Amino acid sequence: MKKAGPPPIERLAIRAPNHLGELLLALPALQAACEKERRETGTAPVVQVVSWLVPLVAMADLDARLLPLSDRRDIAAAARELRTYGVRRGILLTPSVSSALIFRAAGLTARRGTGGGGRGWLLTDVVDRAPLLEDHRVKEFLAIADLPVPEGEPPAPRLAAIDAARAAWSERRRAERIPPDGRRLVALFPGANGTARRWPVDKYAALARSLAGFGHRVLVLGGPEDRPVTEAVVGRALTDDGTLEGSVLDLGGRTSLVELAGALDACHLLVTNDTGPMHVAAALDRPIVAVEGPADVRQTRPLATRVRLVGRFDLPCVPCVKNECPRGGRGTILESAERECLRLVTVDEVLEASLASLEEAST
């Protein structure tokens, strides 16, 4: 009689988050899930990720087959592609209904994820998100992926495969004519999703002027959508007599994601709003000064070795976790309440934290 062979391996699919910051915070879960899968089944999972974030995931060097999603709303095409990999089990690190629909349409028999947004019926294993909201998002992703969640500090996301990013930044730096003259590079990231999360442009401009006055070269970074903000910061930072020309540079919309990672790796400090690039810098373990407003720092503080958080954590409305400030009328301290959390943060506070970080980095 013919001996029965081992049961067919039911390959695992993991859907990575669609947003830069969330993806970075999910990296420890992605890495641990891939390692576990390799250990237990001898196979690498399939990680489905929106196309523009593939270069970033590549820097994490996961033991996984990356499956780029060019159109995440094309459920039939995404499901068809998953089927070709013989995937039968799935973990969703996204909260969307469409990602759950893709897993169901692909015929996955086990589908695990959070059940909010009315998608519980699409899952076979619903994770209750409520108890996870008090702690860091990294831990939330570990719990969603059914992995052990440590007590205390969460594991830090890290990007290790960054040779290509460094080479890309070298090229970009040459193209932008930024000389390697020994001046320290300080990156500013004044954009953010939503006006409530942006420290005012004038304050970034004053900070850029002061940092340049201390002899540092200031690179104002941003994506294409941040260009009006980076232009405004640099325009207001430059002095009329041209003395800061070449010391404060507008790189808004001028770097690819890979170049941006390379730039952050090369900089001696990043001063930023609560943004995805803040988490990229953290995953590269660069010094960070984060200007925090409505974000909940318990959940999304950057996990790097040298981080300074500046914010008005004493205000009763902090954290509201909104992208647009819902307050009106008189503020707690200022005349008007709108975006009071960030308007109260002074240039002196952020400059002091920046100079302390730079000083620490040089010792």
Closest to ligand SF4 by CB, 254 or 327: 327
CA distance 353 to 360: 10
Q: Toward ligand SF4, which CB reaches closer, 88 or 339?
A: 339
- Indicate the residue among 159 and 201 with the shorter CB distance to ligand SF4: 201
C-beta of 360: minimal distance to ligand SF4 in Å?
A: 29
Residue 104 or residue 339: which is nearer to ligand SF4 going by CB? 339
Q: Which residues bind ligand SF4 (CB under 6 A)?
A: 196, 293-294, 315, 317-318, 320, 322, 325-327, 339-341
Look-up: residue for tokens 């641990």?
A: 32
* H-only helix segments in the chain: 20-41, 54-59, 75-83, 97-105, 137-144, 163-175, 201-213, 227-237, 257-266, 276-283, 297-300, 340-343, 347-361
Q: Quote the CA–CA distance of 139 and 124 in Å, as a whole number.
A: 22
Minimal distance in Å, beta carbon 277 to ligand SF4? Answer: 20
Which of 317, 355 has the CB closer to ligand SF4?
A: 317
Give, in order, the Cα–Cα distances in Å from 283 to each of 23, 51, 62, 191, 333: 11, 20, 14, 19, 36
Q: Kindly state the smallest distance separating residue 321's Cβ from ligand SF4, in Å.
A: 8
First to last CA, the chain: 73
- Give min distance, CB of 209 to ligand SF4, in A: 26
Given the complex with ligand SF4, which of 265 and 274 has the nearer CB atom? 274
Contact, 343 vs 203, CB < 8 A? no
Residue 341: CB minimum distance to ligand SF4, A: 3
Cβ neighbours, 10 Å, residue 207 = 25
Round to whole Å and give the CA distance between 36 and 42: 9
- Measured CA to CA, the distance from residue 226 to residue 360 in angstroms comes to 30
CA–CA separation, 103 and 96 (whole Å): 12
Under a CB-based contact definition with an 8 Å cutoff, are residues 262 and 167 in contact? yes
* C-alpha pair distances (Å), 28 with each of 13, 61, 64, 296: 16, 12, 14, 20
Nearer Cβ to ligand SF4, position 17 or 331? 331
Task: Give the torsion sign (CA, 46, 52, 55, 60).
Answer: negative
Shortest approach of ligand SF4 to residue 327 CB, angstroms?
A: 5
Kindly state the smallest distance separating residue 271's Cβ from ligand SF4, in Å: 19
User: Considering the complex, what minimum distance in angstroms separates the CB of residue 311 from ligand SF4?
Assistant: 9
Rounded least distance, CB 324 to ligand SF4, Å: 8
The structure tokens listed for 122 are: 């699409």
**Identity of the residue, 267 or 345, whose beta carbon is nearer to ligand SF4 in the bound complex:** 345
Cβ-contact 344, 333 below 8 angstroms? yes
Cβ closest to ligand SF4, residue 263 vs residue 315? 315
